[in-house]
Amino acid sequence: MLTVDSVTKYYGKKPAVENISLSLGNGLYGLLAPNGAGKTTLIKMLTTLLKPTSGEILYCGTPIEKLGASYRELIGYLPQQFGYYRGSTPVQYLEYLAALNGMPSKGLREKIESVIGQVGLSDSKKIKMKKFSGGMLQRVGIAQAIMSDPKILILDEPTAGLDPKERVRFRNIISAMSKDRTVILSTHIVSDIESIANRVIMIKDRQIFRDSTVPELSAELEGKVFEASVPDSEYERFEREYFVLSARQEQGSMAVRFYCESPAPYRPAEPNLEDFFLVTYR
Amino acid sequence: MKIFFNEAKKLFRPIIIILLAVFIFIHCKGFLKLNYWPQVGTGNPWDTEVHAEMIEKFGPTLSRDELPALKEFYGALVADFEEEIRKSEVFARNGIDDYEKFCEADNEFLFKDGLTDGEQEIYNELIRYRFDLMPASELHFKLNELENRLLNEIEIGRIFATDETIVTMRDYLDRQNPEAAALLEKKYRADEMSLLTITPQSVVDGDSLNLVIISCIAVFAAVLYMLITDRLRGIYPIALSSKTGRKIFGIQAAVCGLFGLLAGIIVCAVYGAALMSKGAGVFLDCPMDNYYHDMWVKLDYRQYILIKAAAVVIFTGAAGLLSYIIGRFATNYISGLAVSIPVLVALCGAEFFATAHIFRVESAWVYSHFWSSVALPFAITLPICIGVTVAVCLILKRDGKRDIL
Ligand SMILES: Nc1ncnc2c1ncn2[C@@H]1O[C@H](COP(=O)(O)OP(=O)(O)OP(=O)(O)O)[C@@H](O)[C@H]1O
Ligand SMILES: [Mg+2]
């Protein structure tokens, strides 16, 4: 049980996040916010890399600072930008990190083989990482995060650079893992979490804006999202009048999905998380 | 332990070791005085050789009782040389048939202007006997060495002094401060005298600084390369949020310090082997305090070498920690290099001051500031070693309390 208790972080005089309070049990938490909102800052505090300027982070009631190594042992972390040794193979790299995490060497080899299999890199496990593509590297990063079966898995934009097939594979791994552990996944890509997140945490203006489920968030837009087919000639005026969520060019007209506070004379549509994100950070 | 080895493995990468070995080899070929053994400080190989011969005959020191034997040794050399003199037609024609006449001719013609044809002939022959590579010049060099280093010094009372001979040194002694004067007089009156000559000692003196320079550069290069590369690769976020956490920095500091010590030990061991292969082994038991080198402590050549080696190792260890400090804060290779250069110069300079004069009672200035010759090296060495260690400890301590990334 991870508790974030009114945490504020300043970089110098500039606040990055303010008065964040969260309570995180088992399950998958999607940390959803646009660029520069403070996702990475919050995550770095959760992983003990940064100290909160004020406030506290507690694990089972004890400040994580006091727990030290016994807390860090529990976390698996994929940084937004993660480092690796160009000249080493994924197996060597994971062995190195396993040592840092104090994992017993007994059964380590099998464990490494299995996580490498999980992220679909079995064929490349003997290749030096400098020959890897961006997506392959990202998968090594995911492998190192889940390698130690962490109680708390913290992933900062884990799907960056993954192709659709790998995204699905990743989602399945994470979704299965989140049953009996805390998974925190930061992203600004809605589809990464829409189908798997138990809760979505949104940060706006440096503060927690929402902490609820996907259906709850979508429901907030009930009756406010519409679809319409707008002739090309009227599109400009339409765009000024309504907040367009998406538009697709069709013959002679635009198929538009848009947001409107008050009831509008158009076909109502089923709101989704992406709509909520766009409307929130309009 | 495993983590320690993992960090060490990054420093002991084959490519780094090979590059360092090549660098050290080139540096040694270019800068070491040992390459010019046995004629460093003397200009010919026989000065060192005649001392080695004497050590084989008399042992590491010459005692007052052995003075007749020394004269005999000298006499035998003179006899051999006279035999060579008699082989020369030019000398025969001019009536030069013994060492005494050779020396007279030497004194007369060597610096004389406007030589006649006949004199020119003698002059050329003299030069040939003195400097050409032939048995005669070898004997002449050895004779010269014995005269200059021993016999003349005995005559003026700097070696095996008696109440009569010490008188010539009295003026000199009176100019020193009382402690130094007492020390020197005791030495002049001693019954034993070291047979160590210039070359073995000046080679070790010059090269110990050289070895510090090479190994410190090597240590800096390897450590900075590793630390800055780690930082640029962004390996730290994962490492620091692992169970090991910020202890990784302490482990790295230890690895760097040990790497420095090890580099120093290897360089010294290789150098020591090379030094012995040149024939320095005969001098090992000779006291360092000899006819041209006044020391305030009793050390033999072996101990002197070991102390110099220890200094090299201590300084390379300090270099390991210093480069760790720089590597922790340098955010790229250029800034790392820029900070390293002055630090390296200062470190090597400190080593020079700390060890070059540490045991010597050398110049008038040092005599009159006898204790400062001891205090100075310590004033330099101690702060460096303590300062570097404390700095590393403070940095590591602070790591626990601050944002790391
Ligand atoms: N080291 C730093 N020093 C100063 N300001 C920083 C630092 N790191 C981040 N910031 C600022 O803090 C705010 C939050 O940054 P953060 O990296 O947490 O955002 P993010 O949500 O992770 O963004 P992204 O989606 O682009 O990764 C930004 O305004 C950023 O400019
Ligand atoms: Mg970020």
Residues B33 and B178 in one domain: no
CA of A41, closest atom in ligand 1: 18
Q: CB-based burial of residue A135 (10 Å sphere; 0-12 exposed, 13-18 middle, 19+ buried)? A: middle
Question: Is position B133 within any domain?
Answer: yes
Q: Give the pocket of ligand 1 (CB within 6 Å).
A: A 11, 16, 33, 35-41, 80, 188
Side chain identity, residue B114: G
| Secondary structure (3-state) at B295 | strand
Are residues B233 and A97, on separate chains, in Cβ contact within 8 Å?
Answer: no
A75 CA from centroid of ligand 1 (Å): 22
Best residue among A8, A11, A159, A206 to mutate for probing ligand 1, ranked by most atoms within 8 Å of CB: A11
Question: Is position B279 within any domain?
Answer: yes
Residues B26 and B72 in one domain: no
**Where are the domain boundaries for CATH 3.40.50.300 in chain A?**
2-218
Query: Nearest to residue A151, comparing CAs of A225, A36, A72?
Result: A72
Residues B291, B159: contact at Cβ < 8 Å? yes
Cα–Cα distance, B200 to B203 (Å, whole number): 5
User: Exposure string (b/e) for B340-367, b if CB count within 10 Å is 16 or more?
Assistant: beebbeebbebbbebbbbbbbbeeeebb
Are residues A68 and B6, on separate chains, in Cβ contact within 8 Å?
Answer: no
The pLDDT value given to residue B376: 60
Cα–Cα distance, A159 to A139 (Å, whole number): 9
CA of A11, closest atom in ligand 1: 4
Cα–Cα distance, A83 to A137 (Å, whole number): 10
Residues B328 and B340 in one domain: yes
**Which of the four pLDDT bands, split at 50, 70 and 90, describes residue B405?**
low
Radius of gyration of chain B (CA): 28
**Which of the four pLDDT bands, split at 50, 70 and 90, describes residue B364?**
very low
A63 CA from centroid of ligand 2 (Å): 24
> Which one of B143, B176, B194 terminates a domain?
B194
Q: Which residues of B touch A50 (CB under 8 A)?
A: 403-405
Residues B266 and B139 in one domain: no
Mean pLDDT of A109-138: 91
Question: End-to-end alpha-carbon separation of chain A, Å?
Answer: 34
**Which position has the higher pLDDT, A86 or A278?**
A278
pLDDT single digits (tens) B9-57: 888 888 888 888 888 888 888 888 898 888 887 778 888 999 999 999 8
Residues near B285 by Cβ (< 8 Å), separated by ≥ 6?
B59, B60, B300, B301, B302
> Which one of B194, B219, B243 terminates a domain?
B194
pLDDT single digits (tens) A49-67: 999 999 999 999 999 988 9
Residues B58 and B115 in one domain: yes
Residues B342 and B356 in one domain: yes
Residues B83 and B121 in one domain: yes
Domain count, chain B: 2
Q: Does residue A202 surpass a pLDDT of 60?
A: yes
The pLDDT value given to residue B357: 63
Q: Residue B277: give the domain boundaries.
A: 2-41+197-399
Question: Is position B149 within any domain?
Answer: yes
Residues A52, A7: contact at Cβ < 8 Å? yes
Residues B155 and B248 in one domain: no
Residue A185, beta-bridge partner list? A30, A155
Degrees, nearest 5: CA angle B9-B10-B12: 60
Residues A116, A91: contact at Cβ < 8 Å? yes
Beta-carbon contacts below 8 Å between A and B: 77
Residues B170 and B205 in one domain: no
Are residues A82 and B234, on separate chains, in Cβ contact within 8 Å?
Answer: yes
Cα–Cα distance, B281 to B48 (Å, whole number): 12
Query: Sheet holding A152-156: strands in order across?
Result: A75-78, A152-156, A182-187, A27-32, A199-204, A207-212
Mean pLDDT of A122-128: 91
Cα–Cα distance, B310 to B308 (Å, whole number): 5
> Which one of B194, B225, B259 terminates a domain?
B194
The encoded tokens of residue B28 equal 């040694």
Residues B189 and B203 in one domain: no
The encoded tokens of residue A83 equal 């480092």
Q: Distance (Å) from the C-alpha of residue B250 to the closest C-alpha of chain A?
A: 13
Q: Does residue B139 surpass a pLDDT of 60?
A: yes
Residues B110 and B141 in one domain: yes
Cα–Cα distance, A146 to A139 (Å, whole number): 11
CA of A203, closest atom in ligand 1: 21
Location of structure tokens 């006091």: A66
The pLDDT value given to residue B371: 53
CATH classification number, A2-218, choose in 3.40.190.80, 3.40.50.2300, 3.40.50.300, 3.30.70.3190: 3.40.50.300
The pLDDT value given to residue A115: 93
| Secondary structure (3-state) at B271 | helix
Does any CB of chain B come closer than 8 Å to the CB of residue A8? no
Full 3-state SS string of A89-153: CHHHHHHHHHHHCCCCCCCHHHHHHHHHHHCCCHHHCCCCHHHCCHHHHHHHHHHHHHCCCCCEE
Q: Which residue CA neighbors atom 24 of ligand 1 most closely? A: A35
Mean pLDDT of A141-166: 91
The encoded tokens of residue B335 equal 């800034």
Mean pLDDT of A184-190: 90
Q: What is the ipTM of this complex?
A: 0.85
Kindly give the pairing relationship between strand A253-259 and strand A225-231: antiparallel
Residues B361 and B384 in one domain: yes
